[in-house]
Chain A
């Protein structure tokens, strides 16, 4: 684990709080879903909080992210509110996509997040295009495009990364390697040792980092963003993490070997970071407890508010098709 004493107290406690917010959000959503209160299906990210928070902590408010069918953590990390997300998940008219997106398409461009694209790899060419627009308009932003290990097998990955590479676009390609594309282990889909090795095929820099170490992710993303802003992008980051929850609703994860899963539980990012924080003289268990109760209250209140949010009317089905 990266030494947490090298950063200001407020910064590291902020990272901890944001990761906890994601975990608590996902646990509450899981409960609401199993209870039957929430419609649709869900893809959750328990165990992957450090990748979302670490990357987004290295971006500015004006930078952009693109996400996948598993977007809740990315959205919260980028600064969408739990309330606008929960209303969307409940199918409410005042959700971040007015109830037209749902769990797999949450986003809010005003906060720098494109509605999540749930076709595996489909966001990667779009990210290249956003990078192209930034470069053509001579803006200083960067684009971070999240995708899973499974997406690296898609043609869209090849085409999108290659375009960004030949045009030096300011794009961080963030491969969250959570070990499984649905139920298929990542070692079964490539002969390469790492997904970061794929970078060589495009002549760009690739780096593998511990995706359960939020500060390691932050540092890798900060380096990559700096390179992108200097016109030395794109960069491919592979963040090693683990999906502690099912692929989607009610998946009991029977394909995950017991030992692998137990090791993942020991290394999960929030507990690991709490231990690193407690190594600081200025952080005590009571401080972490205060963060926990604040987050729990915030999510509880957001759920109550989201339940009351108005639903769209049947007439709304016809709006927002054309500009």
Chain B
């Protein structure tokens, strides 16, 4: 099988292009996504696609509520829009269209219509201060009618994107700025290698599935996006101390894959949930509640959350470092869980 090493940005680009090739109903709409001489979106994902699909890469005004709403209307009439924001924080500008229309119109219509659209959003603190930094996953995981995924590597990014395009529901894909592997002027400092070997053949990664990334016996570390990479680093450190940690990429934030997560919890009996974002009201809170409700008999101790403090994202590097969980804090969390 021929494989090719790709970054997350390249894998997403390849996935979008393949889906547009496969299905003429697929099109992209967003800010600065196909301007010749531009960047191909804020993180180069759509770079050059306007040359291949001149009528289906639509550059919009800076009007997130407007073009997310337009995506809803186009999806209802049979198209398959992929819309993106430059930073996840801007999803709040489009919130009415996402929450009141995309997520609800099928239910309000009694199942008469569907809203098959893909929404892409970069998240994560990256030295840009408070308003280009939030991990906004938490605001969408409790929304009935929307599915939410968050790939940690290029293979999953491409496979989940393709699955999202083929799904008949609104699907939100959260991508981490430090995992894109964006190049040139859009290179991120502090980036983490999330490249994968990508097969040439068509594949999807099913929505709604988690993946065990490292097997272990004493504790289950649940994480996604950048935190998954930090969790793997922490597991390495712990292994050197003789602690065997299993690391699960939650990957699907709504719905959770309780089969995969539960199997791990049954095996280890201890859980650490890692989340970039304030600890209160986060995705981790819902995950902890869901695991406790289902698997409390298997738990040998309280579920531990390693997350950011309840503050906005700060700017100064020393403060941002204090904000975001790192491998050392995850190791500390695991020790707490094992006590």
Q: Which A positions have Cβ atoms within 8 angstroms of B?
A: 64, 95-101, 105, 107-110, 114-115, 117, 119, 122, 124-134, 136-137, 155-156, 158-160, 162-163, 166-167, 319-323
Say yes or no: B108 contacts A322, CB within 8 Å: no
Q: Pick the contact of A125 from B67, B106, B147 — CB < 8 Å? A: B67
CB distance from A35 to the nearest CB of B (A): 26
Q: Give the interface of B toward A (CB within 8 A).
A: 27, 55-56, 58, 60-61, 63, 65-79, 81, 96-97, 100-101, 105-116, 144-145, 147, 168-169
Residue of B nearest to A322 (CB): B169
Tell me whether A122 and B108 are in contact in the complex, defined as CB-CB below 8 angstroms, given that A117-B101, A130-B73, A163-B63 are known contacts: no
Q: Chain A residues near B72 (CB, 8 Å)?
A: 125-126, 129
Cβ-closest chain B residue relative to A157: B66
Asked whether A160 and B69 contact (CB < 8 A) given A105-B108, A130-B74, A137-B78, the answer is yes
* Count of CB-CB pairs between chains A and B under 8 Å: 149
CA distance A126 to B115 in the complex (A): 11
Contact present for B109 and A323 (CB under 8 Å): no
Cross-chain contact A128 with B70 (CB below 8 angstroms): yes
- Given A119-B100, A323-B116, check contact A97 B109 (CB 8 Å): yes
Instruction: Identify A132's interface contact among B70, B106, B113, B145, CB under 8 A.
Output: B70
Given contacts A100-B108, A323-B169, contact A126 B69 (CB under 8 A): yes
Q: How far is the CA of A134 from the CA of B79 in the complex (A)?
A: 10
CB distance from B39 to the nearest CB of A (A): 21
Bound complex: CA of A319 vs CA of B110, how far in Å? 8
Contact of B69 among A124, A320, A322 (CB under 8 A): A124
Contact between A160 and B111, CB atoms less than 8 A apart? no
State the majority secondary structure of interface residues on B.
mixed
Q: Contact partner of A119 among B96, B109, B110, CB < 8 A?
A: B96
Nearest residue in A to B115 (C-beta to C-beta)? A323
Q: Are A322 and B61 in contact (CB under 8 A)?
A: no
Min distance, Cβ B121 to any Cβ of chain A, angstroms: 18
Q: Which chain B residues border A131 with CB–CB below 8 Å?
A: 73
Contact A126 B97 (CB under 8 A): yes
Minimal Cβ-Cβ distance residue in A for B64: A159
Query: B109 near A107 (CB under 8 angstroms)?
Result: yes
Given that A114-B76, A156-B65, A322-B169 are contacting pairs, would A98 and B111 also be in contact in the complex, using a CB cutoff of 8 Å? yes
Q: What are 29 residue pairs bridging A and B, where the CB atoms are less than 8 Å apart in the complex?
A: A101-B108, A109-B109, A109-B112, A109-B113, A114-B76, A114-B113, A115-B108, A115-B112, A125-B67, A125-B70, A125-B97, A128-B69, A129-B70, A129-B73, A130-B77, A133-B76, A133-B79, A137-B78, A156-B65, A159-B63, A159-B67, A160-B66, A163-B63, A320-B107, A320-B111, A322-B106, A322-B168, A323-B114, A323-B169
Chain A residues within an 8 Å CB radius of B78? 133, 137
- Which residues of B are found within 8 Å of A100, using beta-carbon distances? 107-110
Nearest opposing residue in chain B for A88, CB measure? B110
In the complex with contacts A122-B97, A134-B77, A320-B107, A162-B61 CB distance below 8 A: yes
Q: CB-CB < 8 A to B113: which residues of A?
A: 109, 114-115
B110 with A97: CB separation less than 8 A? yes
Given known pairs A97-B112, A117-B100, the reply for A321 and B144 (CB within 8 Å) is yes
Chain B CB within 10 Å — which of A100, A159, A320 has the most? Answer: A159
- On whether the beta carbons of A159 and B105 are closer than 8 Å, the reply is no
Given A117-B100, A130-B73, A125 contacting B68 (CB threshold 8 A): yes
